[in-house]
Amino acid sequence: MYKRQEIEDTLQPVIRMFRHPIYHNILLMHVLAVIWLAGALVALVRYVMRYKSLFRYLSVRDTENYDTVLKKYGLDSRHYDGIEKIHFVYAGQVDSPCTAGIKKPYILLPEKEYSREQMHYILLHEIMHIKNKDLLWIILIEVLCISFWWNPLLSYIKSQMLQLVEIRNDSRIMKEMDEKETVFYMQALVDTVKNTKKSEIVCSVSFNNNGMKVLKRRLKFIANGTQITHMAQIGLVVLTGLILVVNV
């Protein structure tokens, strides 16, 4: 009880500062609240505009049938469960293969050539993202970053969440691989990061578009056979919630 009173006494100067009148009945906390909401609204509008822009772009692009993509690389559809529901688009705007769309999933492919082996692992990786509905996690963390745009911890949490999504995806794919296939998968990750610029496509997850530092971390997890569970992601979200509660 004493400690609680001590904390309240310590916070009294801060509380008085926020309740300080600036103009008539307008308090400092009212001004800060308006700035908070205005910043969140601007960030939300920009995010929605980028989202709509992406799907306007996809709507005017010619989509490739999965059979066409598989035939081009000599791959068998039996290795890619659910591929028949996915739309493929060759997009000059992306440097690394990525997935976009929830109800209508797309795999965006750069306008560059890949080997048969590379495309095999790209498809396994992106299809796993779609199965896991990882885009929902991406949207969740984006909403949190928009809502609490003033909190620098959110940027760090976002980067950790994105890495966690990729590492968990890698670990799930590796469950079906032997040691030789794991090495080939790691090599495909290294090959695709070469000559790839870091760019962010709104509401998407990429095969390998986070730079060499993140790639090294992913390769370390793969080499060690580390498994990232669904609970690890939930734990990070809970931690984010606690940080936000403390800051409100």
What tens digit of pLDDT does each residue of 68-110 get? Answer: 999 999 999 999 999 999 999 998 778 888 898 888 899 999 8
Element (H, E) at 76: none
DSSP 40-56: HHHHHHHHHHHHHHHHH
Please write the tens of the pLDDT for every residue from 155-176. 888 888 888 888 888 888 888 8
Segment 8-40, tens digit of pLDDT: 556 567 666 666 677 777 887 888 889 999 999
Q: 């949190």: which residue's tokens?
A: 144
Q: How far apart are CA 7 and CA 14, in angstroms?
A: 12
Q: Phi and psi (nearest 5°) for 90?
A: -85, 120
pTM of this prediction? 0.78
Cβ–Cβ under 8 Å, residues 183 and 174: no
**What's the first-to-final CA gap in the chain, in angstroms?**
23
Q: How confident is the model at residue 245 (pLDDT cuts 50, 70, 90)?
A: very low
pLDDT band at 124 (very low <50, low <70, confident <90, very high): very high
Residue 174 makes CB contacts below 8 A (sequence gap 6+) with 182, 185, 222, 225
User: Do 173 and 125 touch, CB atoms closer than 8 A?
Assistant: yes
